């Protein structure tokens, strides 16, 4: 066995001993060493992806606890359980947590873990950038939750509308915490997006042309592009505009000095509406392989689903104004954005009809992941219908800022985002842990969650139509809203019980669940072609793909490419469209610099809230970190084969 | 586990590539899009604010002086020359030429930064005077931050080439650095037209 693992090709089956020897060498090269230092420095996309998933799920629990506190406060009229100030902090932290710290990071985390596995790659394109993104995200979480525990959490809502979030109405540092936290999470999202785009474009398995890319990967790719165009808006709005207005008296949103409060809403919702689809599209991407696997057939309408993803992304950027129908915008604009809001239902419907057709023509098995998919269809369609209602300007002006909108958005986000996520967690849990989640507990989880969601949020439609405003901490008994609010709170308790059952299931199954094996469901994607959980190098050899369902279409032995080095971390890159082998690239080893740089950027952004000179100190430390990062990349290695721009191939040290 | 069948070998593929065959080129492109888009949003915000007032710049603000940004524009155009030469020399693995022209590139970059210091002194408005001043300062400031990072990157790369024997892939990095410089120069053009020439014509 040479360092260029099995470079001789005989066109036949690889001997198991040779494969094992190759795997042993790769294990030594790719594994993260034990110890705290290595734990901090790791760049393994699976380790980081798993951390992201666990951290994001912890944020789901934190946001859920906050929701439970709010429902306890609203369970009966004139309740003094929380009080206005604490309620405002908790409702802002709930929204901020669920949107910025749970939903988007969770979806990108699933991508960072699974995209390389699904496309047959050994890592992501930029492993250290990936680590940096995670640490940045963690610093942002620390900022928000330290603020909450010390009674300094933001209290102006997760949208931080100006002028309420300007210093005149929001003195102190609560809004600054929100503004800087948002930027941290957007940095993390942007790092993940660039990583996913380049990984999908350049690191797909040989033969995985664009018409063979798994639909989950397609969804992640489309969403990564959406992030690249949506997140700069909120980062610009929160740090370059709102935080700058508050810290150094800039005048973006101060009408007396020529500023405009509606500019904030335009900037925020230009991000905020695509954000819903940034959460929703990866969730839809999870549905397809689950439906395929448990219906035992390829999905109907692969091309239609790809086009629906792209169309959704396109239209998502064209309807931010439907959040602003109650503002004094021109009528013509309202009509245009109403049309866009209605049109976006079409690509969602296309996907839903494709899944229904797949189930109709397949042999469905009602496993727990499939139950969650069915629950998703039911809940999301309900939320989608109220979305179409709210796209109508006259109705929106009636329902605006009432609990009807709260009901709609929770139906969409829980139905369209969380239910497919649970389906995906049950489906892919073996790839995280090597074990299967327990079926019985999974069914309890599903039914209680489905009932809980509907009991919690359906009454809110009625409360909203009855005029109950959102964002209030209490209401008078004479309004008659008490019974439905109590019912809603009981529904929230049911959701909490279902999530506790899921956590118990995870703990029990992780410790002693049934061993899954590489492909427990008989699925077709490449992630199931390797062990559960996958080894540090993902695949012993790059797999060669000749269809959209490689494991279903492989007959005797999986075709692979040999020749990647085993003595240093090397990845195979392929051409962008037809995925022909193009080059071998070094993949970086562990590094402290991503962690260091995230901390230094924490000094910049958090320091800016309190003392401007911390910006200078943090910037200097960050620049030193950037230099260290770059310096570490310049270690001369050994003889290289170089493809010069003129097409010549030379060898040089 | 399914058995494996060797179908081809990738051992003969190159390990260092340039341009769109290189992962770093794609990463650089990604960050150019993000930063360019952020700047575009700031420029759109500037034009949005313009709509709500009759006089632009609003009194007593003055239009920014044109001399320094025009000289900067000329110098930026000139700076493309060493950047192009570095990219081409990098593509030939010509270390002496890369070093020589990286120095020239760095010097022009530093000169542009120094000019920018005077430029912001003559914007004709304080950032906290009104929304116009805020928008101008933020747009120019944001571009300056990109410029600063790019000049520091070029200086760091130059330093690495001089004090340490470079791996071959650094030549590809030098070429990518030039691509990023084209971007930094290119986005100065809309900034110049909207923030400096704009107040005189819109």
Closest CA to B69 of B36, B108, B117: B117
Decide if pLDDT at A332 tops 80.
Answer: no
Residues 130-159 of B with CB under 8 A from A: 130-135, 137-138, 142, 152-153, 156-157
**Chain A: closest CA distance from residue B78 (Å):** 24
Residue A211 has which token pair?
Answer: 């018409």
Nearest CB neighbour to B8, from listed A9, A540, A583: A9
* B chain contacts of residue A586, beta-carbon cutoff 8 Å: 15, 169
Tens-binned pLDDT, residue by residue, of chain B (202 aa): 578 888 899 999 999 999 999 999 999 999 999 999 999 999 999 999 999 888 999 988 999 999 999 999 999 999 999 999 999 999 999 999 999 999 999 999 999 999 999 999 999 999 999 999 999 999 999 999 999 999 999 999 999 888 877 788 899 999 999 999 999 999 999 999 999 999 998 7
| pTM metric for this prediction | 0.95
Quick check: A190 contacting B, CB < 8 Å?
A: yes
Contacts of A556 in chain B (CB under 8 A): 3, 5
* CA-to-CA separations, A259 to A202, A241, A245, A380, B42, in angstroms, rounded: 44, 11, 10, 39, 14
Residue of B nearest to A8 (CA): B9
The beta-carbon neighbor of A248 closest among B17, B128, B169 is B128
Residue B6 forms contact with A (CB below 8 Å): yes
Say yes or no to pLDDT of A469 above 80. Answer: yes
Do the Cβ atoms of A258 and B42 come within 8 Å?
A: no
Residue B3 confidence (pLDDT): 85
Residue A3's pLDDT band, with cuts at 50, 70 and 90, is low
Looking at beta carbons, which residues of chain A come within 8 Å of B33? Answer: 228
Q: Which of B7, B42, B142 shows the shortest C-beta gap to A559?
A: B7
Does residue B9 sit at the A interface (CB-CB below 8 Å)?
yes
Choose among B34, B137, B153: nearest Cβ to A232. Answer: B34
Spacing of C-alpha B20 from chain mean position:
19
Q: Is the pLDDT of residue A239 over 80?
A: yes
- Partner residue facing A630 (CB), from B1, B128, B156: B156
At residue A297, does pLDDT exceed 90? yes
Q: Reply yes or no on whether the pLDDT at A1 is more than 50.
A: no
Distance of residue A394 Cα from the nearest chain B Cα, in angstroms: 27
- The answer for B 15-34 residues in CB contact with A (under 8 A) is 15-23, 26-27, 30-31, 33-34
pLDDT at A530 over 90: yes
pLDDT value at residue A556 = 76
A504: contact with B, CB 8 A cutoff: no
Choose from A52-61, A231-240, B55-64 the range with maximum mean pLDDT: A52-61
Question: Chain-wide mean pLDDT for chain A?
Answer: 93
A325 has a pLDDT exceeding 50: yes
pLDDT at A329: 82
| pLDDT tens digits for range A9-35 | 556 788 888 899 999 999 999 998 889
Q: How far is A509 from chain B (nearest CA, A)?
A: 23
Residue in B1, B4, B60 to test binding to A, most A beta-carbons within 10 Å:
B4
B162 touches chain A (CB under 8 A): no
DSSP character for A635? -
Question: What residues have CB less than 8 Å from B9, skipping those under 6 apart?
Answer: A7, A8, A9, A561, A562, A563
Residues 70-109 of B with CB under 8 A from A: 91-93
Rounded to a whole number of angstroms, the distance from the CA of B161 to the nearest CA of chain A is 9
Q: What is the pLDDT of residues A152-167, one digit of tens each?
A: 999 999 999 999 999 9
Nearest to B164 among A236, A582, A634 (CB): A634
The most distant pair of C-alpha atoms in chain A lies apart, rounded to whole Å, by 84
Rounded distance between C-alpha atoms, residue A137 and residue A601, angstroms: 11
Q: Which of B88, B92, B90, B107 is nearest to B155 (CA)?
A: B107
Q: What whole-number distance in Å separates Cα of residue A302 and Cα of residue B54?
A: 53
- Tokens 């071998």 found at: A584
Question: Which residues of chain A lie closer than 8 angstroms to B38, CB-CB?
Answer: 232, 235-236, 240
Q: Give the closest residue to B144 by CA, choosing from B65, B72, B93, B41.
A: B72
d(CA B30, CA A620): 25
A575-603 per-position pLDDT tens digit: 999 999 999 999 999 999 999 999 999 99
Nearest to B21 among A193, A257, A583 (CB): A583
Q: Residue A19 and residue B4: Cβ atoms within 8 Å?
A: yes
Nearest to A123 by CA among A467, A569, A631: A569
Residue of B nearest to A643 (CA): B17
B55 in contact with A at a CB cutoff of 8 Å?
no
Q: How far apart are CA B128 and CA B135, in angstroms?
A: 10
Residue A2 has pLDDT above 60, yes or no: no
Looking from the CA of A64 toward its CB, the CA atoms found within 13 Å total 23
- Cα torsion angle, B130, B131, B136, B141, sign: positive
Residues in chain B: 202
Contact check, Cβ <8 Å, A640/B137: no
Do residues A522 and A430 make contact, with C-beta atoms less than 8 angstroms apart?
Answer: no
Contact state of B133 with A194 under an 8 Å Cβ cutoff: no
Q: Hey, are the CB atoms on B26 and A198 less than 8 Å from each other?
A: yes
């Amino acid at each position: 066995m040479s360092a260029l693992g099995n470079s001789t090709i005989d066109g036949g089956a690889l001997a198991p001993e040779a494969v094992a020897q190759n795997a042993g060498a790769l294990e030594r090269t790719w594994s993260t060493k034990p110890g705290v230092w290595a734990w901090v420095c790791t760049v393994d996309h699976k380790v980081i992806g798993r951390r992201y998933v666990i951290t994001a799920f912890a944020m789901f629990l934190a946001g859920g606890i906050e929701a439970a506190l709010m429902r306890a406060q609203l369970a009966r009229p004139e309740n003094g359980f929380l009080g206005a100030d604490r309620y405002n902090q908790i409702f802002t932290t709930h929204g901020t947590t669920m949107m910025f710290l749970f939903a988007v990071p969770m979806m990108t985390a699933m991508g960072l873990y699974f995209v390389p596995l699904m496309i047959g790659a050994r890592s992501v394109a930029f492993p250290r950038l990936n680590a940096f993104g995670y640490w940045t995200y963690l610093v942002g979480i620390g900022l928000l939750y330290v603020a909450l525990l010390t009674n300094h959490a933001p209290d102006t809502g997760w949208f931080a509308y100006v002028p309420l979030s300007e210093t005149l109405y929001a003195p102190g540092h609560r809004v600054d915490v929100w503004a800087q936290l948002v930027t941290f999470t957007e940095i993390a999202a942007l790092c993940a997006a660039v990583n996913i785009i380049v990984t999908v474009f350049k690191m797909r398995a040989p033969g995985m042309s664009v018409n063979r890319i798994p639909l989950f990967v397609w969804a992640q790719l489309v969403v990564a592009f959406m992030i690249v165009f949506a997140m700069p808006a909120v980062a610009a709005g929160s740090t370059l505009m709102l935080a700058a207005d508050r810290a150094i008296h800039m005048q973006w949103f101060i009408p007396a000095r020529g500023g405009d409060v509606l500019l904030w809403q335009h900037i925020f919702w230009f991000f905020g509406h695509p954000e819903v689809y940034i959460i929703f599209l990866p969730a839809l991407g999870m549905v397809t392989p689950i439906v395929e696997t448990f219906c035992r057939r390829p999905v109907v309408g692969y091309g239609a689903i790809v086009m629906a993803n792209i169309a959704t992304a396109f239209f998502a950027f064209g309807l931010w104004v439907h959040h602003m129908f109650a503002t004094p915008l021109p009528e013509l604009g309202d009509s245009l954005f109403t049309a866009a809001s209605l049109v976006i239902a079409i690509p969602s419907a296309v996907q839903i009809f494709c899944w229904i057709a797949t189930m109709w023509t397949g042999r469905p098995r009602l496993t727990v992941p499939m139950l969650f998919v069915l629950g998703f269809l039911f809940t999301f369609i309900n939320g989608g219908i109220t979305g179409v209602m709210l796209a109508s300007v006259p109705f929106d002006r009636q329902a605006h800022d009432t609990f009807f909108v709260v009901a709609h958005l929770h139906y969409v986000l829980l139905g369209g985002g969380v239910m497919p996520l649970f389906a995906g967690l049950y489906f892919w849990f073996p790839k995280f842990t090597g074990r299967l989640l327990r079926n019985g507990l999974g069914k309890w989880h599903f039914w209680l969650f489905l009932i809980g969601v509907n009991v919690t949020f359906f009454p809110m439609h009625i409360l909203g139509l009855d005029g109950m405003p959102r964002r209030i901490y209490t209401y008078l008994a004479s309004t008659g809203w008490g019974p439905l609010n109590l019912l809603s709170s009981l529904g929230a308790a049911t959701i909490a019980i279902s999530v506790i059952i899921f956590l118990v299931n995870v703990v029990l199954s992780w410790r002693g669940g049934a061993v899954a094996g590489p492909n427990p469901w008989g699925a077709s994607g490449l992630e199931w072609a390797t062990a559960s959980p996958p080894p540090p190098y993902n695949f012993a050899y790059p797999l060669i793909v000749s269809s959209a369902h490689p494991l279903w279409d492989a007959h005797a032995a999986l075709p692979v490419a040999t020749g990647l080095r085993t003595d240093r971390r090397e990845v195979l890159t392929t051409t962008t469209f037809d995925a022909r082998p193009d080059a071998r690239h070094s993949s970086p080893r562990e590094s402290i610099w991503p962690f260091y740089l995230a901390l230094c950027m924490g000094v910049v952004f958090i320091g800016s809230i309190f003392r401007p000179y911390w910006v200078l100190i943090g910037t200097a430390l960050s620049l030193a970190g950037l230099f260290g990062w770059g310096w570490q990349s310049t270690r001369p290695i050994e003889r290289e084969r170089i493809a010069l721009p003129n097409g010549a191939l030379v060898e040089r040290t | 586990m399914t058995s494996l069948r060797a179908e081809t070998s990738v051992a003969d593929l190159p390990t260092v590539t340039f341009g769109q065959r290189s992962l770093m080129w794609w990463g650089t492109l990604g960050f150019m899009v993000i930063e360019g888009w952020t700047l575009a949003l700031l420029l759109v915000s500037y034009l949005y604010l313009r709509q709500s007032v009759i006089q632009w710049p609003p009194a007593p603000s003055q239009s920014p002086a044109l001399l320094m940004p025009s000289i900067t524009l000329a110098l930026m155009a000139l700076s493309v020359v060493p950047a192009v030469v570095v990219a081409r020399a990098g593509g030939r693995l010509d270390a002496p030429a890369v070093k020589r022209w990286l120095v020239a590139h760095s010097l022009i970059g530093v000169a542009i930064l120094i000019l920018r210091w005077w430029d912001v002194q003559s914007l004709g408005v304080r950032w906290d005077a009104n929304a116009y001043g805020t928008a101008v300062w933020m747009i120019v400031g944001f571009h300056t931050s990109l410029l600063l990072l790019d000049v520091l990157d070029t200086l760091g790369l130059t330093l690495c080439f001089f004090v340490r024997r470079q791996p071959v892939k650094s030549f590809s990095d030098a070429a990518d650095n030039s691509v990023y410089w084209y971007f930094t120069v290119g986005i100065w053009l809309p900034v110049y037209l909207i923030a400096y020439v704009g107040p005189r014509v819109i």
